[in-house]
């Protein structure tokens, strides 16, 4: 007889860990199957921003609900998530000023702590920033960043304390069905029975979907990240998404993490080697941070790394019950899933056990939107993040 569980979660990144944590809290006996190691995929390479500025309400709402977890992690989850409050700025080009205002108003309606600030205000908040090329930004004073690996391990530790089992180095090779229902999985470490299967397999989620007869339109986004040693005269700065320079950056102790939104590698095979950081990326990243931060030209490259995540056609997540009965999908977070993960776990557990999500209405993140040609776009859209 195969080992039996109330639910099996495929993937031990931050999304799968959060869902397993929440299902365990609801009293289910959960098994997490991970083809590699905890946080070995997109989560381990995440830049860890904790901010709420989105141009789609469901994303902003998920980020806002997740923010309460990050700010009160020990009480809400237990363990540590490494949250640092730095303040967050969303800088936009002048032709996006109206979109910025509209999105801030939407976020305020949700309850998010945010405001529109001028370039002069930004100069007061961050005197080292060059502000001549933009007029407005959105400012979230309580936002910042957290540690994705600490966050994931906290979720898993608390799930395990409630009886959850984690099995690493275990690749799912098949989904077993009977009468249109999930009955279990086959894996490189044997077969397991379950009536509930949650596909959080990241870049491999489309392959797991095919095992259940389900098409998930997913490609990959491979990104480079650089860490630069800040000169002492620059000092600590806020966390920033800079759409004018297609860049995001945040502090990391005496370092500054830099990522770019353009010229990322799209469509690579999930299992292909990440390779090395492109030297041209490093040059572009350093040039751009010097364009925004005065004095950074006296800094020095510290280190680099790469990551890869699942990307959907509209660069928004899928959170849905789809395919055979008992099959659920939480994937395609398109490089922005970390900050949403606490609320995603709650919402998916509500969808699975209560029939619908209550914390945030996630109906718009249904899988069927792609087949219907109903891609998600914000009322005040900035366009795609990754170009």
Burial of 358 (0-12, 13-18, 19+ CB in 10 A): exposed
Domain of residue 197, residue span: 7-45+149-217+314-372
164 and 291 belong to one structural domain? no
Asked if residue 354 is part of any domain, the answer here is: yes
112 and 225 belong to one structural domain? yes
355-383 confidence digits (pLDDT tens): 999 999 999 999 999 999 999 999 999 98
261 and 341 belong to one structural domain? no
234-250 confidence digits (pLDDT tens): 999 999 999 999 999 99
Whether the full predicted model's pTM is greater than 0.85, yes or no, is yes
153 and 207 belong to one structural domain? yes
| Angle, vertex CA 17, rays to CA 331 and CA 185, nearest 5 | 70
Asked if residue 119 is part of any domain, the answer here is: yes
Asked if residue 78 is part of any domain, the answer here is: no
For residue 151, the tally of other CB atoms under 10 A from its CB is 31
Q: Is the dihedral of CA 19, 58, 375, 381 positive or negative?
A: negative
| Angle, vertex CA 325, rays to CA 320 and CA 328, nearest 5 | 30
What's the CATH code of the domain at 27?
A: 3.50.50.60
129 and 226 belong to one structural domain? yes
What is the distance between the alpha carbons of residues 108 and 147, in angstroms, rounded to a whole number? 26
Helix, strand or coil for residue 20?
A: helix
pLDDT band of residue 384 (cuts 50, 70, 90) is confident
Total domains, the chain: 2
198 and 235 belong to one structural domain? no
What's the CATH code of the domain at 92?
A: 3.30.9.10
CA 270 to chain centre: 17
305 and 223 belong to one structural domain? yes
Of 279, 309, 339, the residue at which a domain comes to its end is 309
Write the DSSP symbol of residue 23: H
Side-chain-side CA neighbours of 118 within 13 Å: the count stands at: 2
Of 309, 342, 358, the residue at which a domain comes to its end is 309
Residues in Cβ contact with 72 at an 8 Å cutoff, skipping those fewer than 6 apart: none
Helices 148-161 and 341-354, packing angle to 10 deg: 30
pLDDT band of residue 386 (cuts 50, 70, 90) is confident
Is pLDDT at 387 greater than 80 in this prediction? no
For residue 74, the tally of other CB atoms under 10 A from its CB is 10
254 and 359 belong to one structural domain? no
245-271 confidence digits (pLDDT tens): 999 999 999 999 999 999 889 999 999
334 and 240 belong to one structural domain? no
User: Which tokens belong to 141?
Assistant: 């004073």
21 and 135 belong to one structural domain? no
Burial of 326 (0-12, 13-18, 19+ CB in 10 A): buried
Asked if residue 175 is part of any domain, the answer here is: yes
């Amino acid at each position: 007889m195969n080992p039996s569980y109330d639910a099996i979660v495929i993937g031990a990144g931050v999304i799968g860990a959060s869902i397993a944590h929440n299902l365990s809290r609801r009293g289910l006996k959960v098994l997490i199957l991970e083809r590699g190691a905890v946080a070995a995929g997109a989560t381990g390479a995440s830049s860890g921003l904790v901010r709420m500025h989105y141009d789609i309400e469901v994303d902003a709402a998920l980020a806002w609900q997740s923010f309460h977890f990050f700010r009160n992690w020990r009480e809400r989850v237990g363990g540590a998530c490494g949250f640092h409050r730095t303040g967050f700025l969303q800088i936009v080009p002048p032709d996006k000023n109206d979109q910025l205002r509209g999105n801030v108003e939407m976020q305020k309606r949700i309850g998010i702590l945010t405001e529109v600030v001028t370039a002069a205000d930004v100069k007061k908040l961050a005197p080292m920033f060059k502000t001549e090329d933009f007029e407005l930004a959105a400012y979230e004073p309580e936002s910042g960043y957290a540690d994705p690996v600490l966050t994931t391990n906290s979720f898993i530790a608390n799930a395990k304390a409630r009886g959850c089992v984690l099995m690493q180095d275990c690749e799912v090779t098949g989904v077993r069905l009977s009468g249109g229902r999930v009955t279990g999985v086959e894996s490189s470490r044997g077969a397991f029975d379950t009536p509930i299967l949650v596909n959080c397999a990241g870049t491999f989620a489309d392959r797991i979907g095919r095992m259940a007869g389900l098409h998930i339109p997913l490609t990959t986004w491979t990104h480079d990240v650089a860490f630069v040693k800040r000169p002492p005269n620059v000092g600590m700065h806020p966390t920033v998404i800079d759409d004018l320079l297609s860049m995001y950056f945040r502090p990391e102790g005496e370092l500054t993490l830099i990522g770019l939104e353009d010229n990322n590698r799209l469509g690579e095979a999930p299992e292909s080697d990440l390779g090395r950081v492109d030297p041209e990326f490093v040059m572009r990243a350093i040039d751009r941070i010097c364009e925004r931060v005065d004095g950074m030209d006296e800094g020095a490259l510290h280190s680099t790394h790469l990551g890869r995540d699942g990307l959907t056609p509209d660069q928004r997540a899928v959170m849905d019950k789809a395919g055979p009965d008992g099959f659920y999908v939480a994937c395609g977070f398109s490089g922005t899933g970390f900050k949403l993960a606490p609320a995603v776990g709650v919402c998916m557990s509500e969808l699975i056990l209560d029939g619908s999500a209550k914390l945030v209405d996630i109906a718009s993140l249904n899988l069927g939107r792609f087949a219907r040609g109903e891609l998600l776009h914000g009322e005040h859209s900035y366009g795609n993040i990754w170009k």
